[in-house]
């Protein structure tokens, strides 16, 4: 059975960002997550991570179409 939730370390690996940046995405609400366990470990639902990635693709397409250039 595929995992439903992943830790922030895996989120950072998938996105190619630091753990601190992944935590900031969660804290800002940009990437929905839950806290689980006695120590309050953050977990992101795989479906939410996929949806975040799709939103970022859409934003990038809009940016490129609007500005006609890439950074």
Residue 24 domain boundaries: 5-67
pLDDT of residue 71: 53
Helix axes 8-15, 46-67, angle to 10 degrees: 30
What tokens does 11 get?
A: 């989120």
Which CATH number belongs to the domain containing residue 47 in this structure? 1.10.1660
Non-local CB neighbours of 53 within 8 Å, separated by 6+ positions: 15
Strand order in the sheet with 5-7: 5-7, 41-45, 34-36
pLDDT of residue 48: 98
Mean pLDDT split into 10-residue runs, the chain, 71 residues? 94 98 98 94 98 96 80 53
> Within 10 Å of residue 25's Cβ, how many Cβ atoms?
21
Query: pTM for the complete prediction?
Result: 0.86
User: How many domains does the chain fold into?
Assistant: 1
């Amino acid at each position: 059975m595929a995992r439903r939730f992943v830790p922030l370390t895996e989120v950072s690996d998938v996105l190619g960002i630091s753990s601190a940046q992944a935590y900031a995405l969660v804290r800002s609400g940009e990437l929905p997550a839950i806290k689980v366990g006695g120590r309050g470990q953050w977990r992101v639902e795989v479906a939410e991570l996929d949806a975040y990635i799709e939103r970022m693709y859409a934003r990038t397409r809009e940016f490129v179409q609007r500005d006609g250039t890439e950074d």
